[in-house]
Structure 1
Amino acid sequence: MKRIFAVSLLALALSACDKPAENTSQVAPAQCAKDTDCKGDRICESGQCISPNAQASLAAKPAPAVSLAPAAPTIAYQAVLISGDEVGPFTINGTEINYQSRAGVMNIMEQVIDEPEYATYVGVEKAYAFGPNKYVLVISTGEGGNACPATTYAVSFDTQSESIDGKTSVDGCSETVDSLADGNKLIVKKDGASTEIYNGLVK
């Protein structure tokens, strides 16, 4: 009888050992479903509110704006000496302003006024070089029939094309002409509105 009881106890013990251990651990409830559920600057990650790491913070910063402003000009106006009839590569001959082109001597006044032969006088008031190939001349003329004693033109000349590539009349009737060069900007003024010329090109 004792033997049967001992066998029964052993069988009961073995059956108890075969039962799987119950999982007593509990899954923590979710703290959040989205970032706005978290306090401060924390974010929602897999249901938990966590602080963003430093790398993520740096990645979130916008890239610095790229400046699209043009670079400062590397060429500036240089005053050209007016010595008697010589003005840089130009020569004043009466009412002509001549330039020695590849094809021969050319009178640039033919590109400035319609009837250069009727000009009573021609004078270069100011002259500037802009780089190796561009010149700006401020030319005063006496033209018959004009109310002003002097008509003044600002003209730009390109030695590569050997031609005047821009011209304009300077406002005013005064015979006094002032100019100011600042970097790539040239201001020409009489007693009227000023004329501004950039980069050696009159427009």
Structure 2
Amino acid sequence: MTRYLLPLAAAGALAAAILTSPFAHAERAVPIPAPAHDVQPNMKPNVAVLAGGCFWGMEAVFERVKGVTSVTAGYAGGTAATATYDQVSSETTGHAEAIRVAYDPRVVSYGTLLRVYFSVAHDPTSLNRQGPDSGTSYRSAIFPQNGAQRAVAASYIAQLRQAKAFSRPIVTKIETGGFYPAEGYHQHFFDKNPNHPYIVAWDKPKVAAFKAAFPTLAK
């Protein structure tokens, strides 16, 4: 995580390292079915908390989904006392980098958000790693906000496994825990730093893949 804050003088070297990394590749959406079960539109809260690697890219994708009213980058799974960038970077807090997605259920459902999450927002078959980032803070995890969300998430994971939607096993966990917003400089990082080498290498392709795969969902 500390690579995010390298001085500008190192940006060129970082860009070269990322772009030539053996993990670097063009993002693409995995075609998966819609969930067979979904949360009723009148069920509150209309908030989803999802973890799937660096929160910059996750935030950027979901900010572009119709019906999403706000996205906050943060930490989930640990305690309030350890919900800071430096502490989470130590991989000892139990936190995962996560996003809190507020949405209008009249426009987009919880199940649809999960479809985007599994298909293109991250790789649900990668254990404690996403792209060039490794560690438990980059794990794939869903933090349901009520019993209905928990039931839908569990049902959808089972559905995708039965359909063999992915060539490798899904490792996504369903967890409990609070959500704590990250520091201000992490919020809307994609839009504020469009030329950052990490954004260019990993997150712009992901956003493009979302728009290509889900044109009717994109703002």
**Under a length normalisation based on structure 1, what TM-score does the superposition of the two structures give?**
0.21
Which structure is richer in relative contact order (CA contacts within 8 A, separation 6 or more)? 2
Larger CA Rg, structure 1 vs 2:
1
**Under a length normalisation based on structure 2, what TM-score does the superposition of the two structures give?**
0.20
The structure in which a higher percent of residues are helix is 2
The structure in which a higher percent of residues are strand is 1
